[in-house]
Structure 1
Amino acid sequence: MDFTTSRTPYVALTPDQSTFDSDIPLAHFDVSEPDSASRRPTGSVNNQRSFQNSLTTKWRKFFSKCNMTCENNIGLLLITVSGAFASMMNTLVKKLNSIDPPVPILELILVRMLMTGAASLLYMWITNVPDPLLGPKGVRGLLALRGVLGFFGIAGLYFSLQYLSVSDATVLQFLVPMCTGILGALVLQEHFARDQAFASLLSLAGVVLIARPASLFGHTVSNPQAETVRNIPAVLEGRSDYMEATPTQRLGAVGFGLVGVFGATGAYTTIRAVGKRAHALHSVVSYTVQCTVVSVVLMLALRTPIVLPTRLDWIGMFLAIGICGFIYQVLFAMGLQRETAGRGTMAVYVQVVYATILDTVFFHSTPNLPSVIGTSIITSCAIYIAISKKNPDERKRQQSLLSSQGADHSLEEGLLDYQDQNIEPPESKDDDMTISTNPIERPELSFEGLTNDEDAPHAS
């Protein structure tokens, strides 16, 4: 019997081509074929985003580091800014001495101290600072000592100017930062590292390059009409008056200059010793009061004539000298309250840079190559001292880490010692919540002598 097969062969319905007819509806996003050439590569987008993120991260780290550096060196920055006002005050003094008739030095000191002291007392009275004239009871002796030493500092400088050139006298005055750092380390037990001492010596060398004293570089005259009266190191041209001094007089002037160095060193160290126990203006008031009294006494003793201002620009420079002197004293005292004596007084060297700039702007004097080299040395040393200071929080963390490591080491040695002697370490008395892992021994129950079954315990 023959059987025929009615099964039809299987035909696959899977399409074998990617192009469909137009009657088949397509989705909206498949209407147009994407152009591979116009498609933006994903890798470039990711690279651009990662580059932007890295730039943002680096900028934040840089800003955070700068902010931390400023906070860590706030005292040094205050002293540096105060140097700008001191240089501006000295520039005004130089301009004022060019007016005919010139103002005597003692009169300038008197006017400056009167205005600075009056402004300080007025500010302390407005802000209700207690004891504005004498200061707090605990530091009145230090404040009085600061005023006396400050007077010896300024008196030694001006007496040395009788037989020394300005540059020679002020080079001696720039021994103050190094001496202050040494005295602060000896008396106040402050940290004065070797790198700070080396930077101080380099800065002093930079000052010598800018000042070029006649005792080292000889007598040079390039402009007989030029003169320098500021108490910042500068090239003094026209030294004929100073050449007439005898060796004995010059030696005495050097001695007065060293007295001024010791006075300024003691004054700066005293300000640091007072610290934040007194307001910054207390130090300024003590200094101005005593300098005012001594200036009046010297003017009466030496019969110094008083020159009254007769011009508006003269009065304006007088007022500007007083204002700049007030700001300088306040910022300088605030800076020394927040900084060690050694690092703080090193910022005084930056005044040379300010003085060079102001001399170029107001008097059109062009600095020579040694002055540029000296300015670069001083600026580099100041930047190094500011950057090299460690963060006090980081120093505390390092000290705590070292102390904890020492404690762990001693504990380890103690445990090893107990182990070698086969002695168990003593238990702490404060540990009342210790859990014993030994099994508790319970007394066994004896049923001997019990005759009745009722007296025996029933098993549960």
Structure 2
Amino acid sequence: MHSFFGLLGIYYSLEYLSLSDATVLTFLAPICTGIAGALFLKEKYSTKQALAAVFSLFGVVLIARPVFLFGDGKASQESHLAPNDSEKGTPEERLLAVGVALIGVLGATGAYTTIRAIGKRAHPLHAMTSFSSQCVAVSVIAMIWQRTPLVIPTEVEWLLLLVMIGVFGFVAQILLTMGLQRETAGRATIAVYTQVIFAVILEHIFFTPTPSILSGIGTLIILSAALYVALTKNQGTPKKTSEVPEGALEEGLLEGLLGGEPAQTLGRENEYDEEETSALAPAEPGDSTSKNITKV
């Protein structure tokens, strides 16, 4: 459900906000996810990671150049993320769109945090199946409630575009889920900022817009922050040598059930066997114990 509201927030905001404004609002989710991971999952979210996330968001702002910060001037019109894009609707509708976008940010934050909490206990396809089935169910109910007509593609090009959306979206969600299973929420979600860079590259290839200087600076900032987080490891507290390694108890119990003996007890039992065999062994002539026995 969290993922559904996350997507609903961005799609609804695009109806009344410019693409640049909606993009900046959407990219608040990685910062919120890092904070949520530190609060609810007790994960380490260092100051350096938080600064890297803030710098990445600043890079997104330079690339998107939202209207509410840069105005309707030449920089906004030349934005390669939103050419000829303008806000629609009344101020009240735009304010509602901002509120729905923020709800979408909370939904995405909850989804990322939940996936991280589950970890590797579930396969990524399990999360994808749950997400897809819930989205289909809620979308059908919402379409019936709002009386939204069902649209069927009538051209091959439209069908191919929908197939591409499904394939690329599926791959993106699978990789994101796998990343959240292997890294902390704060570190994993910072990589989400790099999708803006790929959007710039692909848009330049297919639509040939000319990136501005601010876009280049924003791209360098996002790349630097992402590389810094990727190359910097969390330094946790070293484990004590006296601590039992993780999984040692389970391995010992499994060996016992299979007829073997745990490795830690084999040494002690061998010592006991040596003591018993030495006690039962015949005494050598001249030994004090043999003399005592003969006297008796």
Q: TM-score, normalised by structure 1?
A: 0.49
Q: Distance in 1 between matches of 2:132 and 2:162?
A: 17
The gaps in structure 2 that reach 5 residues or longer are 244-296
Mean CA deviation greater in 290-299 or 373-382: 290-299
Indicate yes or no: 2:159 matched with 1:159.
no
Residue of 364, 367, 370 corresponding to 2:208: 364
2:162 aligned partner? 318
Asked if the contact 2:12–2:101 (Cα under 8 Å) also holds between the matched residues in 1, the reply is yes
Specify the code of the residue in structure 2 equivalent to 1:334.
M
Residue of 180, 189, 192 corresponding to 2:45: 192
Structure-2 change in CA distance of 1:325 and 1:251 (3 Å)? same
1:114 aligned partner? none
1:216 aligned partner? 69
Indicate yes or no: 2:96 matched with 1:252.
yes
Indicate yes or no: 2:178 matched with 1:338.
no
Tell me by how many angstroms 1:366 deviates: 1.4
Aligned CA-pair RMSD:
2.5
Specify the code of the residue in structure 1 equivalent to 2:70.
F
Residue of 174, 196, 201 corresponding to 1:352: 196
1:183 aligned partner? 36
Specify the code of the residue in structure 2 equivalent to 1:245.
T
Q: Distance in 1 between matches of 2:75 and 2:32?
A: 35
Tell me by how many angstroms 1:236 deviates: 4.5
Asked if the contact 2:18–2:82 (Cα under 8 Å) also holds between the matched residues in 1, the reply is no
Q: Distance in 2 between matches of 1:218 and 1:267?
A: 33
Asked if the contact 2:30–2:190 (Cα under 8 Å) also holds between the matched residues in 1, the reply is yes
2:54 aligned partner? 201
Indicate yes or no: 2:59 matched with 1:238.
no
Say which SS state the counterpart of residue 145 (structure 2) adopts: helix
Specify the code of the residue in structure 1 equivalent to 2:37.
G
Q: Distance in 2 between matches of 1:263 and 1:375?
A: 27
Tell me by how many angstroms 1:221 deviates: 6.3
User: Deviations 1:99-137 (Å, cap 9, x if unpaired)?
Assistant: xxxxxxxxxxxxxxxxxxxxxxxxxxxxxxxxxxxxxxx
Tell me by how many angstroms 1:299 deviates: 2.2
User: Deviations 1:274-310 (Å, cap 9, x if unpaired)?
Assistant: 0011111111111111111122222223333333323
Q: Distance in 1 between matches of 2:150 and 2:174?
A: 28
Say which SS state the counterpart of residue 233 (structure 2) adopts: coil
Q: Distance in 2 between matches of 1:361 and 1:262?
A: 33
Asked if the contact 1:159–1:256 (Cα under 8 Å) also holds between the matched residues in 2, the reply is yes
Tell me by how many angstroms 1:320 deviates: 2.0
Tell me by how many angstroms 1:151 deviates: 1.2
Q: Distance in 2 between matches of 1:389 and 1:168?
A: 33
Q: Distance in 2 between matches of 1:223 and 1:400?
A: 57
Identity of aligned residues (%): 51
The gaps in structure 1 that reach 5 residues or longer are 1-147, 229-233, 404-460
2:144 aligned partner? 300
Q: TM-score, normalised by structure 2?
A: 0.75
User: Deviations 1:71-99 (Å, cap 9, x if unpaired)?
Assistant: xxxxxxxxxxxxxxxxxxxxxxxxxxxxx
Structure-2 change in CA distance of 1:292 and 1:227 (3 Å)? farther
Specify the code of the residue in structure 2 equivalent to 1:382.
A
Residue of 83, 89, 112 corresponding to 1:268: 112
**Structure with larger Rg:** 1
User: Deviations 1:134-173 (Å, cap 9, x if unpaired)?
Assistant: xxxxxxxxxxxxxx11111111222222322121122111
Q: Distance in 2 between matches of 1:301 and 1:166?
A: 27
Specify the code of the residue in structure 2 equivalent to 1:256.
V
Q: Distance in 1 between matches of 2:79 and 2:146?
A: 25
Asked if the contact 2:29–2:106 (Cα under 8 Å) also holds between the matched residues in 1, the reply is yes
Q: Distance in 2 between matches of 1:238 and 1:177?
A: 25
Residue of 285, 289, 294 corresponding to 2:129: 285
Asked if the contact 1:213–1:235 (Cα under 8 Å) also holds between the matched residues in 2, the reply is no
Specify the code of the residue in structure 2 equivalent to 1:257.
A
Q: Distance in 1 between matches of 2:187 and 2:96?
A: 31
Q: Distance in 2 between matches of 1:330 and 1:277?
A: 15
User: Deviations 1:227-261 (Å, cap 9, x if unpaired)?
Assistant: 99xxxxx235331x52x522x33222211111111
Say which SS state the counterpart of residue 389 (structure 1) adopts: coil
Say which SS state the counterpart of residue 186 (structure 1) adopts: helix
User: Deviations 1:339-360 (Å, cap 9, x if unpaired)?
Assistant: 1000000000000000000100
Specify the code of the residue in structure 2 equivalent to 1:339.
E
Say which SS state the counterpart of residue 42 (structure 2) adopts: coil
